[in-house]
Amino acid sequence: MSSFHLTVLGSGSAGNCALVETADGTRVLIDAGLSARQVVTRLATLGLQPEQLHGILITHEHGDHASSLEILCRRCPELPIYATRLCGEALRAESRGPGLRTHRAWRLFQPGRGFHIGGLAVESFPVPHDAADPVGFTLRCGDAVLAVLSDLGHATKLALEHARAATTLFIEANHDGPLLQQDTKRPWSVKQRILSRHGHLSNDAAARAVADLLTSGAPLQRVVLGHLSRDCNQPDLASGAVRALTPGAALEIHCAAQAEIGPRLGIAAPPVLAAAEPAAAQSRWTPQLELF
């Protein structure tokens, strides 16, 4: 039985946003990089309005992950926005309107600290990307765990360690190496940024991360590949790269789309529960959040 659900509202170079819902009615967005109109429209398709959300988790401040925050904050002044302090400061500084600068419901956290949003236990961890204090997330409801690794130049040991308990992993598979090299729209400087250790994961790098998790004994049952480049990737290339490095694995693979809502995916507990977390891991949790 699924403890909570993930629905990717849209993911790609032009914008990223996903909805998480728990059985107790907690509803949280992960990023808000689609246009505000698209966020509202796609939520409405699911029978929801922004006012019914309990928070928005922000991985980092880049526009393809946060572009609709300004309008959503004006529409929903009490909607909690969860971000690291540096990310929050960057969002406020770059805002073109008063929504983010005057928002009353900022919830600022330190990477590595945990907090709760309704029935969701959330833990954050730093990831390597050219942004202000970017993070990944693990979301836990009961024994079911979802890990989110979006926008990272390489999969660090720390990120993989956090993802080890997940049965569902959302991970960036931004580009196919040969397609990026052949692309004529991007200057070499942009390609260098994408390929850097603080840029974006390639299909092969995402596949290696998935393979490493399975090799380590992670209870991974499903992978959702996200942030696919419109010009430098294709779903069959992304999923094929993962299949090639995980032969024989009973792994469900999805490629999130930019233009349409993905399926509602149930996040279930692993068939055999792992041993309890060590005390050092438990000590990361704290309910304390800061406000601006």
Per-residue pLDDT at 275 exceeds 90:
no
Q: Looking at residues 18-27, what average pLDDT do you find?
A: 96
* Res 96: pLDDT: 86
What six digits make up the tokens of 272? Answer: 């055999």
Confirm if 20 and 43 have CB atoms less than 8 A apart: no
Show me where the domains of the chain are located.
2-266
* Res 283: pLDDT: 38
Per-residue pLDDT at 1 exceeds 90:
no
* Res 2: pLDDT: 67
Going by the DSSP 8-state scheme, the letter that residue 259 receives in this structure is S
> What is the CATH code for 2-266?
3.60.15.10
What six digits make up the tokens of 122? Answer: 């959330």
The helix/strand/coil state of 116 is: strand
What six digits make up the tokens of 107? Answer: 């919830």
Residues ≥6 apart with Cβ < 8 Å to 213: 160, 163, 164, 169, 220
CA 100 to centroid of chain Cα atoms: 21
Residues ≥6 apart with Cβ < 8 Å to 152: 127, 128, 129, 134, 136, 159, 172, 200, 201
Q: What is the mean pLDDT of the chain?
A: 93
Helix H segments across 78-187? 85-94, 98-101, 157-163, 177-182
Residue with tokens 């490095």: 245
Q: Looking at residues 132-158, what average pLDDT do you find?
A: 96
- Which residues in 204-217 are b (16+ Cβ under 10 Å) and which e? bbbbbbbbbbbeee
Q: What is the pLDDT of residues 213-226, one digit of tens each?
A: 999 999 999 999 99
Q: Looking at residues 15-30, what average pLDDT do you find?
A: 97
